[in-house]
Amino acid sequence: MSHMRPFGILPQNKTPDYEVRLLLEPAEILTPSIQLTNDVQSTFNMQPSATKESIEFFDTPTKEIFEGRLERQRPTLTHANRHGFNNEPTGDSREFKAQVEWGYANKVLSMASKKKLDGFLADELDFPSADRIRQMLSTEAPNKFRHWKIHDWGTYALQRSIIYGPILVDRYSGSWDNKPINLEVWYMVNPSASRTDYIVEVSCKTNNRASALFKQRRLVDELKSKGWLVDEDLKKTEAILDAYAV
């Protein structure tokens, strides 16, 4: 098994919540049959069975949409805009929900607009056709995405988009420090089908920065003591697009 190894001003009308998200060593977390080890289950009070989800990412062959944004499709259509914490304004984002993703060393401001797919159940792993998904993404796209660079830029980009994936994800729910915690296993199938790589992440949410800082430090210490932590951050979407590039 192997694992795969961005700071923006938040608009005044947005108050973010926080998600601490850390990368784990697959070889230390998973059994040979790709189940959680007993120690992981015990530490995070997790049930052995996972909720399975299949996710497709849409981008142009030259990955134009990924330049700070992503479009993905599961039972929920997601248009996301990601910023590092620098001095560049994000602009009007009333259609987006703001969240700070707090990793090992970096914090990323993510603003996402989500729309559930009508008639598509959460436990279904088969997708509608690519043309239908492109149409849904275009129809539900926020104006900020449609006109990101020039008028109708997003619509045209989606028309030229291709599928990266699908990626199977196992999601586990549990508790740690008397609060909900989640663990995800992303299956990165090599195009030659000769092997599968795994991305394993653990995450927990909170409503304010002070609590996020406290939880991040405690969780890092816990994971280090177990030998489970990968002490760096992961650009997961970039890794997925690279792995599934045509």
Distance CA 23, CA 9 (A): 26
Helix (H, G, I), strand (E, B), or coil: what is residue 220? helix
Q: pLDDT by residue (tens digit) across 138-186?
A: 877 777 777 777 788 878 888 888 888 889 999 999 999 999 999 999 9
pLDDT at position 88 is 38
57 burial class (0-12, 13-18, 19+ CB within 10 angstroms)?
buried
The answer to whether the beta carbons of residues 202 and 182 sit under 8 Å apart is yes
* Domains with residue ranges and CATH for the chain: 17-243 (2.40.320.10)
The answer to whether the beta carbons of residues 164 and 73 sit under 8 Å apart is no
If you average pLDDT over every residue of the chain, what do you get?
A: 80
pLDDT at 45 over 60: yes
pLDDT at 196 over 60: yes
pLDDT at 72 over 90: no
The answer to whether the beta carbons of residues 216 and 19 sit under 8 Å apart is no
Q: Which of 17-21, 41-45, 54-58, 205-209 has the lowest mean pLDDT?
A: 54-58
The answer to whether the beta carbons of residues 5 and 80 sit under 8 Å apart is no
When pLDDT is averaged across residues 62-78 and rounded to a whole number, the result is: 65
Under the banding of pLDDT at 50, 70 and 90, the label for residue 79 is low
pLDDT cut 90: percent of the chain above it: 40
Task: Identify the DSSP state of 211.
Answer: H
pLDDT at position 103 is 96
**Whole-prediction pTM value?**
0.80
